[in-house]
Amino acid sequence: MNAVTIPATPSAAVSAMPLRRVLGAYLAEARSECLRYLRAPGFMLPIVLFPTLFYLMFGIAMGKSEGPDIARYLLASYGVFGVMSPGLFGFGASLAIERDGGLLTLKRALPMPPGAYLLGKMLMAMGAAALVILLLLGLALGVAHVVLAPAQVAALLATGVLGVLPFCAMGMFVGTLIKGQGAPGLLNLIYLPMSFLSGLWIPLPMLPKALQQIAPVWPSYHLDRLALAAVGMEQGAAWPHLLVLLGFSAVFLALATRRLRRFG
């Protein structure tokens, strides 16, 4: 073992960090977050498989008799369904488990630049959302022969990649409420009923009147409106839905950061 000498530098110079290295740390953190989940089939498979299988069964196999609009409609709805889970689980469940396992504590003790950990998780969730949308688009265009303009494809992809963010904020809040393995269970209790009540599984007009009326309470309802608009099935103005989703993200982000600061 070789002894190594540390040059006696003045302490100010030691702790100064060039901007390039700080940015490099953000990049390294994001890369690690993406890599570790890409390599975890227990995490990636459910996220990718559920929406694509549902779409194959209900949108394509069973929807054939109903005409091409069903495949187009369900592309948007299952897209939203598929985008919610990387946000809720990729962000929320992993945060809860890592708070429990001591990883977050270690990261807070290490000189990781502020927010790099959460930013990394956010990028990972956005990447997973993009993957789900691309797979569904592949099925819709290739198997169901849904006709979409390139602009519509791009709009749906953007809706998915940005639409994951409110659910990241929500997952983050839940991840700060409970620690450890209890989080996935609670998140499923939010995820599945909310998907149903927003008309992601069964189109809203087919649900009871009362459920239709409370649907605007759920963020997934608003994201679904935007996704339907992206594939040309919704004509109304987009901005009210955008505002609701923005407000929803801001509130949950604020609640979650407050809890993280207080309780770590």
> What is the contact surface with another protein in residues (CB under 8 A)?
1-6, 11, 14-18, 21, 24-25, 27-29, 31-32, 35-37, 39-40, 98, 101-103, 105-106, 108-114, 264
CB nearer another protein, residue 31 or residue 145: 31
The distance of closest approach from Cβ of residue 68 to another protein in the complex, given in angstroms and rounded to an integer, is 41
The distance of closest approach from Cβ of residue 4 to another protein in the complex, given in angstroms and rounded to an integer, is 6
Sign of CA dihedral 116, 187, 81, 225: negative
**Rounded to an integer, what distance in angstroms lies between the CA atom of residue 118 and that of residue 114?**
9
The distance of closest approach from Cβ of residue 116 to another protein in the complex, given in angstroms and rounded to an integer, is 8
CB nearer another protein, residue 7 or residue 67: 7
CB nearer another protein, residue 38 or residue 153: 38
CB nearer another protein, residue 93 or residue 244: 93
CA end-to-end distance (rounded Å), the chain? 38
Six-digit token string for 211: 């459920």
**Rounded to an integer, what distance in angstroms lies between the CA atom of residue 31 and that of residue 5?**
32
The distance of closest approach from Cβ of residue 22 to another protein in the complex, given in angstroms and rounded to an integer, is 9
Q: Are 264 and 95 in contact (CB under 8 A)?
A: no
CB nearer another protein, residue 106 or residue 246: 106
The distance of closest approach from Cβ of residue 21 to another protein in the complex, given in angstroms and rounded to an integer, is 6
The count of other CB atoms within 10 Å of the CB of residue 48 is: 19
Six-digit token string for 66: 């109903």
* Residues in contact with 203: Cβ distance below 8 Å, sequence separation at least 6, in sequence order: 73, 77
Name which of 103, 4, 77, 73 is nearest 233 in CA terms.
Answer: 73
Compute the 3-state secondary structure of the chain and give helix, strand, coil in percent, each to the nearest 5: 80, 0, 20
**Rounded to an integer, what distance in angstroms lies between the CA atom of residue 176 and that of residue 164?**
18
The distance of closest approach from Cβ of residue 24 to another protein in the complex, given in angstroms and rounded to an integer, is 5
The distance of closest approach from Cβ of residue 183 to another protein in the complex, given in angstroms and rounded to an integer, is 15
Angle, CA of 87, 204 and 223, to the nearest 5°: 30
